[in-house]
């Protein structure tokens, strides 16, 4: 029987010590308290008396088991899910796949890709559709009244979709960062714009 090389025990000890030498990374969680208030924390949601916000449902037309992704976001929710996946992966190319590049010059495209890479490099907190709510004092259209009957109150106008709100943190893990992607609809698909 041949003796073990002298460096093998030292090498084995060094390999066993590696996992404890890696720095711990903090994960930002989005929690919802009982009153509906959202809280961002690095602790478990249950530890602060809240529950974790559920991730959005996967987009229709894609299959997570096979890895096949849809090539077209048919709804804003599908687009939000696709953008969230790309940002969670830190993949600017996947994010760019959902961008509306129509009419863009080459030099502008390179500058935009640098911006998308910077966005994809930041830790993700959440992606949600953003709505513009009309001001409370905005006049409502009066419904037509029938022959002397009092007109019923008009319902408030629905909120207008503004874009996709991306909540992130900067590299320090504490400083919030926010990006609002505009939306465009072409060929029956939804796309992001900056």
C-alpha–C-alpha distance, residues 23 and 182, integer Å: 37
Q: What is the pLDDT of residues 134-188, one digit of tens each?
A: 666 655 555 555 566 666 677 777 788 999 999 999 988 889 999 999 999 988 9
Instruction: Return the percentage of the chain with pLDDT > 90, whole number.
Output: 42
Instruction: Using the predicted structure, report yes or no on whether residue 126 has a pLDDT greater than 80.
Output: yes
As a whole number, the mean pLDDT across the chain is 78
Q: With bands split at pLDDT 50, 70 and 90, how would you rate the model's confidence at 41? A: confident
Q: What is the pLDDT of residues 80-104, one digit of tens each?
A: 999 999 999 999 999 999 999 999 9
Neighbouring C-beta atoms of residue 108, cutoff 10 Å: 11
* Residue scoring higher pLDDT (170 or 133): 170
| pLDDT (0 to 100) of residue 45 | 85
C-alpha–C-alpha distance, residues 117 and 86, integer Å: 11
Domain edges within the chain: 26-55, 56-133+158-194
| pLDDT (0 to 100) of residue 137 | 61
C-alpha–C-alpha distance, residues 169 and 176, integer Å: 4
Report which secondary-structure segment, H or E, holds 181. strand 176-186
Asked if 59 and 82 count as a contact pair (C-beta separation under 8 A), the reply is: yes
| Closest of 189, 142, 188, 194 to residue 163, by C-alpha | 194
Q: What integer is the mean pLDDT of 120-124?
A: 94
192: left (phi over 0), alpha (psi -120 to 50) or beta: beta
Helix 106-121 × helix 76-89 angle, to 10°? 70
* Residue scoring higher pLDDT (46 or 66): 46
Fold (CATH) for 56-133+158-194: Nuclear Transport Factor 2; Chain: A, (3.10.450)
Instruction: Using the predicted structure, report yes or no on whether residue 3 has a pLDDT greater than 90.
Output: no
| pLDDT (0 to 100) of residue 50 | 84
| pLDDT (0 to 100) of residue 93 | 94
Tell me the whole-structure pTM to 2 decimals.
0.58
| pLDDT (0 to 100) of residue 53 | 72
């Amino acid at each position: 029987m041949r003796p073990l090389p002298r460096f093998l025990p030292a090498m084995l000890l060094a390999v066993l010590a590696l996992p404890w030498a890696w720095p711990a990374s903090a994960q930002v969680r989005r929690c919802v308290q009982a009153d509906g208030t959202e809280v961002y924390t690095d602790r478990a949601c249950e530890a602060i008396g809240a529950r974790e916000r559920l991730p959005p449902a996967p987009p229709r037309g894609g299959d997570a088991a096979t890895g096949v992704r849809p090539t077209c976001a048919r709804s804003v929710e599908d687009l939000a899910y696709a953008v969230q996946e790309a940002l969670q992966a830190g993949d600017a190319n996947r994010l760019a796949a959902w961008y509306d590049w129509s009419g863009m010059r080459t030099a502008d495209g390179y500058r935009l890709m640098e911006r998308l890479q910077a966005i994809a490099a930041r830790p993700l907190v959440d992606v949600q559709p953003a709505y513009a709510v009309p001001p409370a004092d905005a006049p409502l259209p009066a419904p037509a009244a029938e022959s002397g009957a009092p007109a019923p109150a008009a319902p408030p106008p629905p909120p207008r979709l503004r874009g996709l709100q991306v909540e992130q943190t900067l590299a320090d893990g504490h400083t919030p960062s926010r990006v609002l992607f505009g939306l465009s609809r072409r060929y029956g698909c939804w796309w992001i714009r900056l």
